[in-house]
Amino acid sequence: MKKIKTMVNGIPGKVATGIAARLLSDDRFELIRASFTGPEIESATQLVGSVEIRLIRPDQREMEIKRIKSEEGSFITIDFTLPSAVNENAAFYCRHQLPFVMGTTGGDRKALEETVRSSSVSAVIAPNMAKQIVAFQAMMAYAAKHFPGLFSGYRLEIKESHQKTKVDTSGTARAMVGCFNSLGVDFSEDQIIKIRDPQVQKDELGVPEEHLNGHGWHFYTLESSDKTARFGFFHCINGREIYAEGTLDAVLFLHQKIKAEQKRRIYTMMDVLEGNRQQ
């Protein structure tokens, strides 16, 4: 099978770097030795394993993308950058005809989708690339659709804990709010408790010390108004391997859609899961 050329943007960020390392170890992919990075990055290169990746700042990328496309031909871009760069990056990918997998959270999500729909570029866009968590969200969405108002009158608490470098509220936690609203719970995104203090994470939550710099722990707790009934859901992820695995599946899925010349332009991780199930 011909290898799928892939460019990972966001290096030297930990998620992007981890995904690049996975691509290098997987015979199905060929990693392009360049990465678009942020304006604050001073280094010109970054080692991923023993491979040197050239880092390209925003003021250089308009010129550099022409050279990369000329040398590499067609490829799929993976974006794990910063929330502040989401919309600008998507516009750049669409302008230069670069199909992409967007795992970065934040930004104006409605504008993001409109940018892709108004272009000829296909993309997988998801606030969470972990397949198992996406499946959990699908189960909750099913309950919200088929049992509306089930938890009417209940009080909801959502806590999410991530490494202190994650600046935005978890996109996964925000996405879950709509499900709970449909289930009858009065709750808004600004009520989500965002934990970024490593001491609190270690002492109160029990996050292992070796994963304080890379974890995603989410807790959803429902309690009846008279406090006689209590329900809880949680998913606790240490490290970033689960996100890399889902991202590679998304790249394979998007590659197949592009090969089949599918007309649909925007896909989610649920589409990726469905695609895997049908194979």
Average pLDDT over residues 235-249: 95
d(CA 133, CA 172): 9
Q: For 44-48, 77-81, 141-145, 259-263, which range has the lowest pLDDT when averaged over its residues?
A: 259-263
Catalytic option among 162, 211, 218, 255: 162
Residue 146 pLDDT level (bands cut at 50, 70, 90): very high
Q: In this predicted structure, what is the pLDDT of residue 271?
A: 94
**pTM of the predicted structure, to 2 decimals:** 0.84
Q: In this predicted structure, what is the pLDDT of residue 279?
A: 56
Residue 265: phi and psi, rounded to 5, are -105, -35
**pLDDT tens by residue, 98-140:** 999 999 988 999 999 999 999 999 999 998 899 999 999 999 9
Catalytic residue status for 14: no
User: Where does 4-125+241-278 sit in CATH, by number?
Assistant: 3.40.50.720
Provide the percentage of residues in the chain whose pLDDT is more than 90: 90
Cis ω on the peptide bond leading into residue 58 (within 30° of 0)? Answer: no
State how far the alpha carbon of 219 is from the alpha carbons of 73, 159, 193, 205, in Å: 44, 5, 10, 10
Strand partners, 230: 223
Residue 206: phi and psi, rounded to 5, are 90, 20
Strand partners, 236: 217
Taking the domains of the chain in order of start, what are their residue ranges? Answer: 4-125+241-278, 131-238
Residue 265 pLDDT level (bands cut at 50, 70, 90): confident
* Confidence check: pLDDT of 277 > 70: no
Q: In this predicted structure, what is the pLDDT of residue 138?
A: 92
Question: Nearest 5°: CA angle at 26, between 22 and 29?
Answer: 100
Catalytic option among 2, 110, 166, 215: 166
Q: In this predicted structure, what is the pLDDT of residue 6?
A: 98
Tell me the chain's radius of gyration from C-alpha atoms: 20
Q: In this predicted structure, what is the pLDDT of residue 263?
A: 66
**pLDDT tens by residue, 60-109:** 999 999 999 999 999 999 999 999 999 999 999 999 999 999 999 889 99
Question: Nearest 5°: CA angle at 99, between 96 and 101?
Answer: 130
Tell me which residue of 12, 14, 48 sits closest to 31, measured CA to CA: 48
What mean pLDDT value characterizes the chain? 95
d(CA 7, CA 31): 6
Do strands 155-162 and 215-223 pair parallel, antiparallel, or not at all (unpaired)?
A: antiparallel
**pLDDT tens by residue, 20-42:** 999 999 999 999 999 999 999 99
| CB-based contact 179:149 (threshold 8 Å) | no
Choose the CATH number for 131-238 among 3.30.360.10, 3.90.930.12, 3.30.470.30, 2.70.98.10.
Answer: 3.30.360.10
* Confidence check: pLDDT of 278 > 70: no
Average pLDDT over residues 248-267: 90
Tell me which residue of 142, 174, 147, 171 sits closest to 158, measured CA to CA: 174
Catalytic residue status for 66: no
Q: Work out the burial of residue 246: count CB atoms within 10 Å of its CB; fewer than 13 is exposed, 13-18 middle, 19 or more buried.
A: buried
Residue 275 pLDDT level (bands cut at 50, 70, 90): confident
Residue 228 pLDDT level (bands cut at 50, 70, 90): very high
| CB-based contact 39:55 (threshold 8 Å) | no
